[in-house]
Amino acid sequence: MMASSYNAKEEDGHHSGAPGHGVAGTVKSKKPDNTAFKQQRLPAWQPILTAGTVLPAFFVIGLIFIPIGIGLFVTSNNIKEFEIDYTGLDMSSPCYNCSQSFSWNNTKPCTCSVHFNLDQPFESNVFMYYGLSNFYQNHRRYVKSRDDSQLNGNKKSLQDPSKECEPYRTSDSKPIAPCGAIANSLFNDTLDLFYIDPNGTKTPIPLVKKGIAWWTDKHVKFRNPGVNDNLTAVFQGTNKPVNWRKPVYELDPEDHENNGFINEDFIVWMRTAALPTFRKLYRIIQKKNNMTPTLPRGEYIMEVTYNYPVRSFEGRKRMILSTISWMGGKNPFLGIAYITVGSVCFFLGVVLLIIHHKYGNRNNSPDIPN
């Protein structure tokens, strides 16, 4: 008894001097504090899913989603859209000769005229797009091949572009402005639209080239390095991109507010697309008055200055005319998705209601019936 008592005291003394003990010699517990959060005693809502709560939810979702989907689908279908391919791969195409004889070394670009007819008038403002197919702007190296500091007007980056722009960083021992693969592949076809009157007169359609870029891109992300009126001096000592026919300060020499890095065609192109088939806004055809349609039905001619090759990557080029609504351009997917989800929920609600009506009143007694 004395030995055991002595050993217990010795053990208590040994533990009291061990690290982790309090000043008074009490053992510090490793248990979590006795709080509602640490002991997981916080109040929680645990819904009990019953037929009375689940079935109404299915029907409510169905009754809400189906009308919304129908509204979106009808709105999308009311948007008028016309699309024409002018790649020129077929021998019957008016742009066939241009597509076959294209060369970056041509000093005189090839031109072709594409005739088409509009079966219905376009009443409101019309947005003119160019579309490309099989062009992967979402490629990782392609997306990174740019210098945002240079595009923002940084003079140091103008003379010393980012290494991300390789192999389109320098040309003839001079920095390229703008550098990178995105800028080098700028879409540069010129599209002009003409209306053929019933008497055969060729009337040009006015195309607005400003207001096609995002406001934040135009006024925040893209800036010229210096005064817009003297861009030739600002870009002195730099070279144009390899595939460009003219330097960046000659993109729009008639309007200094739309020239250089702040050229809206250039800004629109620099916003890369997520899918290999895409369209980008090219021009806006504004409605003149409420008495006449913006584009009446009839015959039109699109004159193309063929500068952009697509045969190397088996791509296609097209021109799109489209109106818009409160939900944007023509896109039936959202309406179809709402209708599908609403219909599935409503159908499941009916099926579950039948099952509940047939089997919901079964005898739940554990006794085995005779």
For the entire predicted model, the pTM comes to 0.79
User: Taking all residues of the chain, what is their mean pLDDT, rounded to a whole number?
Assistant: 87
Query: Of the ranges 223-237, 259-273, 278-292, which one carries the lowest mean pLDDT score?
Result: 223-237
pLDDT at 8 over 50: no
The token pair at 74 is: 């009808």
pLDDT tens digits along 63-81: 999 999 999 999 999 999 9
Say if residues 240 and 176 touch (Cβ distance below 8 Å): yes
- pLDDT of 169 reads 94
pLDDT tens digits along 232-273: 899 999 999 999 989 999 999 889 899 999 999 999 999 999
pLDDT at 14 over 70: no
- How open is the CA angle 181-184-186, to the nearest 5 degrees? 115
pLDDT at 287 over 70: yes
pLDDT tens digits along 91-110: 888 998 888 876 655 667 78
Three-class SS state of 192: strand
DSSP E strands, the chain: 81-85, 110-118, 126-133, 170-171, 174-175, 190-196, 202-204, 278-285, 298-306, 316-322
